[in-house]
């Protein structure tokens, strides 16, 4: 078992690291605090081809291996986790379209999505349905060659820029079980009745917008049904969330890495009682714990990513990686703040932002408590083994 990056992955990581240190780190704190949208960073990511990360090569994308996919979100989140959110929702949607879309849908959208000329996201969550996606109430009624869509979606990243926006709907609200009546429609920007009504205020995860989207009698051509077959929407969404969990696990590693960097530097530089605080055993214990959690989370994330590259079903592995890495990010951010003492509570230091960004990692792409149940059921059913 080789946990080392290959030469191509190492070069890719180093390129990303240089980009993050030059383009993101110097502006992240100021732009995050002011609520400024990171337009220049988005444009730079387009130039690097990062919007094509999950797009097949035949459509102009990178078709990156999953370990490289994870490296992308780790490095960007080390600079500013919010930026990773802009790319994350786009990439999950591109992966879903590339795997489940019709040939016509792929030809229509993927080339522009690969360059960032188009951007996208994914509209699953509703005011009354988050983790329980089968409880959504957004409906799509067939009317001739169109579907007429009505409903509300919440917490939608990239909502103001997505074109198209894949929307999970119920094409048959009477189906039992409910997932058999669920489909995904590709709703284009500017369609009458499609409205982004508000940006939702957040504790952290600043940079990308998280929006409420209201659909009122939105007419969507039947040709925009993802894959061209009704009743497959939940499976299509859940399959894409396997990559989403790798995304979140990798973002968590990025947060933990930055927490470690900031804590280590502060422990070396900060003087108290005539010596660097890193000379005190209490600080050393916290610093060591951050390092242990960080490296374990990184290895578990790369392991889950490599399993996906092997072509095996890895919902259990991605769930485990997401659980552990996100919990580690929370713990590392908290310990880094404690090492900083009172300065850790100041908006002048990076750890304050890490502390606000980390909790989302335990919530996004399936809450950790729900994922623990998913992992346990897979173990009990013999669908996964730990050896």
Q: For residues 339-359, give the mean pLDDT.
A: 96
* Domain range list for the chain: 7-115, 133-231, 235-380
Prediction pTM value: 0.96
Which position has the token pair 């119920």?
A: 170
Say what the pLDDT of residue 4 is.
87
Q: Is-cis flag, bond preceding 169, omega within 30?
A: no
| 165 bridge partner residues | 187
Say what the pLDDT of residue 276 is.
98
Q: Is the pLDDT of residue 379 over 70?
A: yes
Say what the pLDDT of residue 1 is.
56
Q: Select the more confidently predicted residue: 310 or 328.
A: 328
Q: Is the pLDDT of residue 131 over 90?
A: no
Say what the pLDDT of residue 3 is.
73
Q: How many residues does the chain have?
A: 387
Distances (CA, A) of 139 to 17, 89, 167, 187: 44, 23, 10, 13
CA 77 to chain centre: 10
Per-residue pLDDT band for 242 (boundaries 50, 70, 90) equals confident
Token pair listed for 55: 């797009």
Q: Is the pLDDT of residue 270 over 70?
A: yes
Per-residue pLDDT band for 365 (boundaries 50, 70, 90) equals confident
Q: Is the pLDDT of residue 363 over 60?
A: yes
Topology of domain 133-231 in CATH is Butyryl-CoA Dehydrogenase, subunit A; domain 2 (2.40.110)
Residues annotated as part of the active site: 365
Per-residue pLDDT band for 315 (boundaries 50, 70, 90) equals confident
pLDDT tens for each residue of 197-237: 999 999 999 999 999 999 999 999 999 999 999 999 999 99
Say what the pLDDT of residue 259 is.
98
Q: For residues 267-293, give the mean pLDDT.
A: 98
Say what the pLDDT of residue 269 is.
97
Q: How far apart are CA 114 and CA 62, in angstroms?
A: 8
What stretches of the chain adopt beta strand conformation (E)? 139-143, 146-157, 165-170, 182-187, 194-199, 210-221, 271-272, 275-276
Say what the pLDDT of residue 44 is.
97
Q: Select the more confidently predicted residue: 334 or 239.
A: 334
In whole numbers, what is the pLDDT of the chain averaged over residues?
A: 95
pLDDT tens for each residue of 153-206: 999 999 999 999 999 999 999 999 999 999 999 999 999 999 999 999 999 999
- What is 7-115's CATH number? 1.10.540.10
Q: For residues 338-361, give the mean pLDDT.
A: 96
The region, left, alpha or beta by phi > 0 then psi within -120 to 50, assigned to residue 74 is alpha
Q: Which CATH architecture has domain 235-380?
A: Up-down Bundle (1.20)
pLDDT tens for each residue of 55-90: 999 999 999 999 999 999 999 999 999 999 999 999
Per-residue pLDDT band for 2 (boundaries 50, 70, 90) equals low
């Amino acid at each position: 078992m080789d946990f080392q990056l290959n030469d191509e992955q190492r070069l890719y990581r180093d390129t990303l690291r240089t980009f993050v240190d030059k383009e993101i780190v110097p502006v992240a704190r100021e732009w995050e605090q002011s609520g400024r949208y990171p337009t220049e960073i988005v444009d730079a990511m387009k130039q690097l081809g990062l919007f094509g990360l999950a797009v097949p090569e035949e459509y102009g994308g990178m078709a990156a291996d999953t370990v490289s996919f994870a490296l992308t979100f780790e490095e960007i989140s080390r600079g500013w986790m919010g930026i990773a959110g802009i790319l994350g929702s786009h990439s999950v949607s591109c992966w879903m379209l590339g795997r489940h879309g019709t040939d016509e849908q792929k030809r229509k959208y993927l080339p522009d999505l690969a360059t960032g000329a188009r951007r996208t996201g994914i509209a699953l969550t509703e005011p009354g349905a988050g983790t329980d996606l089968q409880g959504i109430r957004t409906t799509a009624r067939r009317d001739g060659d169109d579907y007429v869509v009505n409903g509300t979606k919440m917490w939608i990243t990239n909502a103001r820029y997505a074109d198209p926006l894949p929307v999970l709907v119920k094409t048959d609200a009477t189906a039992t079980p409910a997932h058999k009546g669920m489909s995904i429609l590709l709703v284009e920007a500017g369609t009458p009745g499609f409205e982004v009504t508000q940006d939702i205020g957040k504790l952290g995860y600043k940079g990308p917008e998280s929006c409420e989207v209201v659909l009122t009698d939105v007419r969507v051509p039947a040709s925009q049904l993802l894959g061209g077959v009704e009743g497959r929407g939940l499976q299509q969404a859940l399959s894409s969330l396997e990559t989403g969990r790798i995304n979140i696990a990798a973002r968590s590693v990025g947060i933990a890495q930055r927490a470690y960097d900031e804590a280590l530097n502060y422990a070396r530089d900060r003087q108290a009682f005539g010596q660097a605080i890193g000379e005190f055993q209490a600080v050393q214990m916290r610093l060591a714990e951050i390092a242990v959690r960080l490296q374990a989370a990184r290895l578990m994330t790369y392991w889950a990513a490599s399993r996906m590259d092997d072509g095996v079903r890895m919902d259990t592995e991605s769930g485990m990686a997401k659980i552990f890495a996100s919990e580690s990010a929370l713990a590392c951010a908290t310990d880094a703040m404690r090492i900083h003492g009172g300065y850790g509570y100041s908006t002048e230091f990076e750890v304050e932002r890490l502390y606000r960004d980390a909790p989302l990692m335990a919530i996004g792409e399936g809450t950790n408590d729900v994922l623990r149940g998913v992992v346990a059921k897979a173990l009990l059913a013999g669908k996964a083994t730990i050896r």
